[in-house]
Amino acid sequence: MKVNFVVRRTKKNSDGYVPIEMTICVKGKRQYVSTGRSVMPSKFSPKTQTVKGDKELNEFLKAMKARVYSIETLLLTKGVNVTLETILDVLRHGEDEKTVTFLQVFDIHTENINKKVKQKLVTSTTLSKYKVTRGYLERYIKAELKKDDVLMKDLSPSFVENLFIYLLKFMTNNTAVQKMKQVKSVMRYAVEEGYIRVSPFKIVLKKEKKEVVPLTIDEVNIIRKKKIDIARLAKIRDLFVFECYTGLAFSDLASLSDKDFHVDEAGNKWIIKKRHKTNVVATIPLLPIALEILERYNYKLPCLTNVKYNAYLKELGDICNINKKLHSHLARHTWATILLNAGMDMVSVSKCLGHANSKITESTYAKVLPDKLFEKVKKVGDTLKKNGAFDK
């Protein structure tokens, strides 16, 4: 930070005096601040930053400059980002103990989440999502507001609305809504801690309900049996088919280890694993196809990022001529639907998926495939026919 004084010769009054203004420069940004004092231009020395023959005025300017540097020290001590905006805010409104910026509060809130991760109260995935959202926030403030940060007390409903619009440039509505929920949590935290009196989060957001159509057994078999010469895609195919026959979410697939595999007294093999997202235990019987894939990789499945995985799945769908968009969660839907259409009860399916209760399973995955639906309706028709319902 640099603080200097200049005289504005373009603002000379009728007596020939010009105002003395203080310039504050922080990270390349400059602001002129009135000192409330004027001087004859010839008496001010830019080199020494003093007024010739006016000891009292020089002491005043010295004190004013010292005040700005003391504000910088104050903000650093509090751990608040030193920006032109935070310096000016304290200079104009006094040393409010709760002077803090949005990104600063976001960081404090995120650190609290980090502590909960260490206590195993929340998952590291949650922490990662907040960090990603923080990155978008920083880019939004720089791109749209042309600032490094913004004071909490300067936040407004329009800031929130424009943030949502900005996010929609980079992601789907549902993903943007999820990130806005994190922003809302931080703002609620700011109110609870006294940084602001009222949350500026007034926008009402709705997720778009998207129907996920699972793969049929035939489609899974097309993928499973497809001859693939590209080693990278062959591995992706194996991972996806393994998901289709275990229902593991990507985060659980990526963290699968030896301790998650179990053999019961009858020799049946299982995956028994706490889900990364919810900490609820999923109990998954290993069917022959899943076991075959595990044995192919000596129980050490290939590892890659979720982004790359879903990108490669798109390629896989194209070469297999599958008209549905392949993504990690589609495999989970497929597994649930396979189990349900095979006649497994909702409670058992819930245990395989690692849901806290069967209501979640029913509301999310209870989809009946068309061929099974026809079979069920046909059975009803046969019963009605036997009872004479169709007799003329």
What is the pLDDT confidence band of residue 341, given thresholds at 50, 70 and 90? confident
Q: Is the pLDDT of residue 342 over 60?
A: yes
d(CA 344, CA 352) in angstroms, rounded, equals 11
What is the pLDDT confidence band of residue 390, given thresholds at 50, 70 and 90? very low
d(CA 19, CA 170) in angstroms, rounded, equals 47
Kindly report the pTM of this predicted structure: 0.54
Q: Is the pLDDT of residue 106 over 90?
A: yes
The H or E element containing residue 19 is strand 18-26
The predicted pLDDT at position 123 comes to 76
What would the DSSP string read from start to end of 145-212? S-SS--BGGG--HHHHHHHHHHHTTTS-HHHHHHHHHHHHHHHHHHHHTTS-SS--------------
- Region 151-173: mean pLDDT is 91
Neighbouring C-beta atoms of residue 369, cutoff 10 Å: 17
The H or E element containing residue 218 is helix 217-225
What is the pLDDT confidence band of residue 159, given thresholds at 50, 70 and 90? very high
Distances (CA, A) of 122 to 239, 334, 363: 27, 27, 24
Q: Which residue has the tokens 């809504």?
A: 177
Q: Is the pLDDT of residue 346 over 80?
A: no
What is the pLDDT confidence band of residue 389, given thresholds at 50, 70 and 90? very low
Burial 331-363 (b: 16+ CB within 10 A, else e): bbbbbbbbbbbeeeebeebbbbbbbeebeebee
pLDDT tens, 210-253? 777 888 889 999 999 999 999 999 999 999 999 999 988 888 88
For residues 348 and 140, which has the higher predicted lDDT (pLDDT)?
A: 140
d(CA 281, CA 353) in angstroms, rounded, equals 9
For residues 92 and 319, which has the higher predicted lDDT (pLDDT)?
A: 319
Task: Tell me which long-range contacts 24-32 makes (C-beta under 8 A, separation of at least 24).
Answer: 24/68, 24/84, 24/87, 24/88, 25/1, 25/84, 26/1, 26/82, 26/83, 26/84, 26/87, 27/83, 27/84, 27/148, 29/83, 29/84, 29/148, 30/84, 31/84, 31/88, 32/6, 32/8
Residue 119 DSSP SS3? coil
Q: Is the pLDDT of residue 158 over 70?
A: yes
What would the DSSP string read from start to end of 243-302? HHTT---HHHHHT--GGGEEE-TTS-EEEEEE-TTT-PEEEEE--HHHHHHHHHTTT---
pLDDT tens, 83-92? 887 788 788 7
d(CA 66, CA 74) in angstroms, rounded, equals 12
d(CA 31, CA 124) in angstroms, rounded, equals 42
pLDDT tens, 1-42? 899 999 888 888 888 899 999 999 988 888 898 888 999 989
Within 13 Å and on the Cβ side, how many CA atoms surround 227?
0
d(CA 174, CA 331) in angstroms, rounded, equals 20
pLDDT tens, 189-203? 988 877 887 899 999
269-274/281-285 β-pairing: antiparallel
Task: Say if residues 254 and 307 touch (Cβ distance below 8 Å).
Answer: no
Q: Which of 239-253, 282-296, 326-340 has the lowest mean pLDDT?
A: 326-340
Task: Say if residues 240 and 223 touch (Cβ distance below 8 Å).
Answer: yes
Residue 370 DSSP SS3? helix
**Phi then psi for 15, rounded to 5 degrees?**
-90, 0
The proportion of the chain whose per-residue pLDDT surpasses 70, expressed as a percent, equals 88
